[in-house]
Structure 1
Amino acid sequence: MDKYKPIKRLGEGAYGIVIKCVNQKTQEVVAIKKMKGAYSDWEQCINSNEVVALRKLNNSPYLIKIKEMIHNKKDAEVNIVFEYCERNLYQEIQEHARNNVTIPEKFIKVVMYQAVASLAYMHKNGFMHRDIKPENFLINKKASNDAAAQQPFQSIENVQLKLADFGLAKPFASSPKHTEYVSTRWYRAPELVLRSPKYTQSVDVFALGCVMAEMYLGRPIFPGNSETDQLTRIVSILGTPSEAQWPEGYKLAAQKELKIPNMKPIQLLQHFSQ
């Protein structure tokens, strides 16, 4: 780690602390993730969820890339060096909300194209992300010259999106059952809200729909404060499926002694105009 000089702490997640650093020899700016937990040997390092996923998913411009891994045996710690991105989508949404400015639809379309491409690549290669949210989409300027580099992010021609944080990523064919408690509540598909152990990569698609809605609204579309409230907020907009349409959901709800509210869907345009 001696060759990297820390600049500032960027954030902290369930699996690590991320620090902006500079390579003192090349002056390249990178993001280094100091993994939480003890890693006594190299095999343990390379078999972590994040590393396994990114080593296999290494051929897409829409996924963050590992530059190198540094294993400190003495302290049993692992540092993963990633390419650096300037900000994340959550910061972009928050900045517009603070300024009471809507995000341009052209920007949303460009972002969504790249976000969909990132998931399509993951799913085609047998992985689901399981933690899709605005914070995990990083934004960079892709500029071929100095003038382009000075353009704001709203200039859609120079926006590049990178999906990051693969700590919960998993091959979806590895097991008929998966960890029940995954994803961030506001972006959980209904089956995850009800803690179903049987779900597919479609949970990523639902979460991405929530991200798109958030860009239009400037706020989360389903900001539930509990599992019950989360499910109520979802059906209050999308409507309640019948038991014939979703037998597994009604079975899970009954096991938890939850009643799924019977509500009709509303027009999304109506909701977005509120």
Structure 2
Amino acid sequence: MTPSQILKVLSQGHDRWPGEALEAASAQRSEVGVLLLEKLAQAVAEIENLDAAGFPKAKVKRFLNATSPLFFGVFLLADWRERAAYRPFARLMRFPWVSHDNLLGEPALEEPGYRIMASLYDGDPQVIFDIILDGGADRSVRFWQWHALTLIALEGKLDRTVAADFARQAFGKLSRDEEESLIWSGWEKLVSRLALTDLAPLVRQAHDSELLVESTYEEFQEDLEYAVAHRDAPCRPGDELQAFAGVQELESWVES
């Protein structure tokens, strides 16, 4: 199977697991990787044009109707830890329709989104900051990127002081609208898991302002105290963050 044939198979939807094509892709990683990066760059360029035009409905529909290998492709790139995919993937994640079936599908809105981001991370957290602060991006995408930052920090790839500085800035920049509560929940989780004790007063303010509706301040304190006492494994049992496990993560999202 040639690289172009592999991409053709990967562009045929999610009705079945394309095991042969995925194995062939890994066997031809260099060649397939180049093609996937090109497809990713093309998608981002089109999104930038759509964004500049104000996302005209007809053009967005035409873009979304085009088939793409990226549903499987970004998982392959993450499996290969292809750092060149980090920035275009982050830009794609800000696209309001990123979860369309012809793009990244539902996995973009769930745990795989943060694990892929952490796997591709190239050392610059700014593009993740941009996702979180982008009010036009999907809220679920933004929520899970707090987890990406946390995982990257726990892996020692991001200084906790940088994460703390961003969390402090985000407190002043995030919307106070009720529908943003999910984003605030992710913010609170980062503070507790990274044991950012200096930010506890801001969490108290957020609770007092009813920005956090899915937890109590007392629950936050318990999580924070646990993280302080367990620096090497700060997430409570059952609430751990998981590193990217490979393209097989996607199998449960594909119809058998």
TM-score with structure 1 setting the length: 0.32
**Which has the bigger relative contact order, CA under 8 A and spacing at least 6?**
2
TM-score with structure 2 setting the length: 0.33
The structure with the largest alpha-carbon Rg is 1
